[in-house]
Structure 1
Amino acid sequence: MTPRNFLVRGLLAGFLAGIFAFAVSYTVGEPQVDAAIAVEEAGTAAAPADAAPADDGHTHSHSHDEGGTVVSRDNQSTWGLATGIFAVSTAFGGVVGLISAFAVGRLGRLRPSQSTAVIALLGFVAAWLVPFTKYPATPPAVGNEDTLADRTLYYFTIQAVSILAMIGVVLLARRLLSGLGTYRTLLVCGGTFLAIVVVTGLLLPTVNEIGTFPGDTLWYFRRASLMTNLTLWAALGIILAGLVGRLYEQETAKTARRDLAASL
């Protein structure tokens, strides 16, 4: 069971997980994007007729502007959405596969398929769930374009801290497990991780640029984002754990046959 075996299976699992994530995003998420765009366009239409239209940074039409081609909303919600999701899910799959290869035999008595599932779960919490709780996804028409760079920096800061903290508590758990046992180790490491991300979240600025945007539309959009990412990570973990489990069974059977042949 080499890192290459895990990488190939991780990439495959990520691509397959992207199929499920795209289905959820297209059926659940895109209607909420359309609803947000409708709110945005309604606000623009309500502006004074002599006011210059504001550049909101979003693209919703099928026309062309002076600076280049404007991507149509139909392409954004189909090919554009699929390309983005498959690229991200495949990349995540490869990363989780490599980390799972490193984790084999290092997470207590867990079998490779079990440790792989744990890595996927921890990855979901550290890389997506924690940043989402501080800076949840926002639809078009929400947020000041002038603060986009700052908001992006805040998001990646808490994401980086969360990932590093997760790596740290996993390494800590390996040291504490033999002395404290599973239950106490989980309490100590879980509490340590929670304390780090909570303090980080409190230190980082709070972003509140919702304005008069409808609360129900915002909630439905964020719920769709949660459903999409939960589907992606769950599918990735389940598929990759299954592929790794099958690989482990094949390698175990091969080793058993080799040992049997050597004993004859």
Structure 2
Amino acid sequence: MNSATVRNLLVRGMLAGLGAGVIALVVAYFLGEPNVDSAIGFEESHAHSHEHEVELVSRSLQSTAGLATGILLYGVAFGGIAALAYCFALGRVGRFGPRATALLLSGTALLAVYVVPFLKYPANPPAVGDPDTIGERTTLYFLMMVLSVLLAVAAVIAGKRLAPKLGTWYATVAAVLGFAVVIGLAYALLPTINEVPGDFPATLLWRFRLSALAIQATLWGGFGLLFGELAHRLLRPEPAAVSTGAAVPAPQ
């Protein structure tokens, strides 16, 4: 793949990430923000004895311009990174076309980058978590994410190497099982963090975590569909339509 194609795919990846970010922003605003507001209300109702802190950024600004800026910038950034990964994966992960490769890549990235770390260290709303342990919690989460991504890459490589001996189906099953076993060991060995207050509403916690998962699924799924279409039009352009009134050259 030449540099011009890579550059074009990179631009299309960033545009697809931006488009997916717009869709995810709608989901975050209507599905996620009400849960955040409820969690903040719970936190404020249990903080009467503490001195009220002045907000540097108002809640209304956080839930509108701040939310939009964060999601859209994230969409553009991950779209560019995913496009570069797509350039490497295209033609190397099976006989998939541009659209199918984009969906496969986005689905794998969603699983490795978000779902696997999420199952061990799920997202928490305001009022959940000790401020003194935020550094430890962030480190463990990113450690789980890096481990998941590296294991996903290793599973793909192992599957390709086993395919000539076991066949595609059994090689894929073996690679997936190996990935699941090592991730299970990581879940068991890494420390568990449970700082949810005993009186925090379980329903609110459940809704918040589901909304966080829905936002990421929308972002990655939207990217896969949008980028797959853009990549398909670049890599496999439709032939120019022949006008019915065009003169047909006489045979020589």
Match of 1:34 in 2: 37
- The one of 86, 94, 108 equivalent to 1:100 is 86
Which stretch of the first structure deviates more once superposed, 156-165 or 115-124?
115-124
C-alpha separation between the residues in 2 aligned to 1:179 and 1:118? 24
Match of 1:53 in 2: 51
C-alpha separation between the residues in 2 aligned to 1:18 and 1:209? 30
Unaligned runs of 5+ in 1: 62-69, 255-263
Residue pair 1:127, 1:159 contacting (<8 A) in 2 also: yes
Match of 2:249 in 1: none
Unaligned runs of 5+ in 2: 241-251
Match of 2:217 in 1: 230
C-alpha separation between the residues in 1 aligned to 2:74 and 2:101? 22
C-alpha separation between the residues in 2 aligned to 1:247 and 1:180? 35
SS in 2 for 1:155: helix
Alpha-carbon shift at residue 108 of structure 1 (Å): 1.8
- The one of 127, 135, 139 equivalent to 1:141 is 127
Residue pair 1:39, 1:141 contacting (<8 A) in 2 also: yes
Letter paired with 1:227:
A
Residue pair 2:14, 2:80 contacting (<8 A) in 1 also: yes
- The one of 16, 23, 26 equivalent to 1:23 is 26
C-alpha separation between the residues in 1 aligned to 2:102 and 2:26? 24
C-alpha separation between the residues in 2 aligned to 1:111 and 1:195? 30
1:10 and 2:8 are equivalent in the alignment = no
Residue pair 1:108, 1:174 contacting (<8 A) in 2 also: no
Post-superposition, which runs of at least 4 consecutive aligned residues in structure 1 deviate over 6 A? none
1:76 and 2:74 are equivalent in the alignment = no
C-alpha separation between the residues in 1 aligned to 2:165 and 2:233? 33
Alpha-carbon shift at residue 145 of structure 1 (Å): 0.3
SS in 2 for 1:44: coil
Query: How does 1:125-140 map onto structure 2 within 5 Å?
Result: 125-140=111-126
Letter paired with 1:133:
L
Q: Determine what percentage of the aligned residue pairs are the same residue.
A: 41
TM-score (norm. length: structure 1): 0.85
Residue pair 2:123, 2:212 contacting (<8 A) in 1 also: yes
C-alpha separation between the residues in 1 aligned to 2:107 and 2:8? 20
Match of 1:66 in 2: none
C-alpha separation between the residues in 2 aligned to 1:198 and 1:54? 43
- The one of 246, 253, 259 equivalent to 2:233 is 246
Aligned-residue RMSD, C-alpha:
1.8
Match of 1:207 in 2: 193
